[in-house]
Amino acid sequence: MSDTYELKADAREQVGKGSARAVRREGKVPAVIYGDKQPPLAIALSYKDVYYKIHGGGFLTTVATIDVGGKKIQVLPKDYQLDPVKDTPLHVDFLRIGKDTEVNVEVPVHFVNEDKSPGIKRGGVLNIVRHEVEFHCPANAIPEFITIDLTGADIGDSIHISSVKLPAGVRPVIQDRDFTIATIAGSSAMKPETTETAEAAAPAPAAEE
Task: Tell me the pLDDT band of 201, cut-offs 50, 70 and 90.
Answer: very low
pLDDT of residue 4: 85
Over the chain, what is the mean pLDDT? 88
Q: Which of 124, 130, 75, 126 is nearest to 107 (CA)?
A: 130
pLDDT at 41 over 60: yes
Residue type (1 letter), 54: I
CA 180 to chain centre: 16
Task: Tell me the pLDDT band of 112, cut-offs 50, 70 and 90.
Answer: very high
Q: How many CB atoms lie within 10 A of CB 70?
A: 6
pTM of the model: 0.76
Same domain, 91 and 15: yes
pLDDT at 203 over 60: no
Same domain, 181 and 136: yes
Total domains in the chain come to 2
pLDDT of residue 100: 86
User: Which of the pair, 96 or 13, is modelled with greater confidence?
Assistant: 96
State which of 98, 127, 162 marks the end of a domain: 98
191: left (phi over 0), alpha (psi -120 to 50) or beta: beta
pLDDT of residue 97: 92
pLDDT at 121 over 90: yes
pLDDT in tens, 73-107: 999 999 999 999 999 999 999 999 988 899 999 99
User: Which of the pair, 43 or 197, is modelled with greater confidence?
Assistant: 43
| Residue 94 resides in a domain | yes
Same domain, 92 and 134: no
Strand partners, 94: 33, 77
Task: Tell me the pLDDT band of 191, cut-offs 50, 70 and 90.
Answer: low
Calculate mean pLDDT across residues 107-124: 95
Same domain, 120 and 80: no
The dihedral built from the CA positions of residue 9, 11, 17 and 19, taken in this order, carries a sign that is negative
Q: Which of 85, 89, 54, 60 is nearest to 75 (CA)?
A: 60
Calculate mean pLDDT across residues 174-184: 96
42 in Cβ contact with 92 (< 8 Å): no
pLDDT at 177 over 80: yes
The range of the structural domain enclosing residue 125 comes to 103-185
pLDDT at 205 over 70: no
Same domain, 122 and 85: no
pLDDT at 175 over 50: yes
Same domain, 127 and 179: yes
Of all residues in the chain, the percent with pLDDT exceeding 70 is 89
Calculate mean pLDDT across residues 105-117: 95
